[in-house]
Amino acid sequence: MHDYWIEFGKVAIAHLLAVASPGPDFAIVLKQSLVHGRRTAVWTSLGIGTGILLHVTYCLFGLALLITGSVTWFNVAKYLGAAYLAWMGVQALRAKPRDEAVEPAARATPKPHGAFMTGFLTNTVGNPKAALFFLALFSVVIDPHTPRLVQAAYGAWMAVATAAWFSFVSFAFTQDVVRRRFLRHGHWIDRALGVVFLGFAVSLLLSVATPK
């Protein structure tokens, strides 16, 4: 009898290592936390977690094999991701010094659905390399004979765990002492994150494969 708990443990460890590593998801949650506060960052985290469900869905239906097996389609995904990350980077680079006396009330806060979509798009469109991770997970770690329902349960756990992790990050970076320091130097942090986003975009462009 297949031991699904052992398989789940492998999935959990691989996912933990992936979600904890710095990337576009972490960068956007950090930015949302420091710029717009905890509520916006948590909604963004929920969007990221929902993005995981999209990755799991196309892996279950074999679409990841189609995308990663086609140089053209995978390159299109990379171009779209690079464009989205570059746009966020430029927006962050345009950050101006903040006035602590009027911050954050005078700053427009994204609505929940807007913050949610930011997280969702960052995890999906802005992170095409996630397709490779989930493809490897579902083809190497997870036995192909594992029932689809069990595989879906693994995916649901990863979505919840991802949302929980980034919600924790949201709480950690919205502590009063952190926000007070950010108000004094926040525009420089914004600009630094802008460079990070642009770096991710350039990295995606450099990884575009040339058809043979």
Is the pLDDT confidence value at 48 over 90? Answer: yes
pLDDT of residue 121: 92
Is the pLDDT confidence value at 176 over 90? Answer: no
- CA 173 to CA 185: how far, in whole Å? 14
Domain ranges for the chain, please list them.
26-206
Cβ–Cβ under 8 Å, residues 174 and 45: no
Nearest to 8 by CA among 152, 167, 136: 152
Model confidence at 102, pLDDT cuts 50, 70, 90, reads very low
- CA 53 to CA 58: how far, in whole Å? 9
- CA 80 to CA 66: how far, in whole Å? 17
pLDDT of residue 69: 64
* 211: helix, strand or coil: coil
The more confidently predicted of residues 69 and 34 is: 34
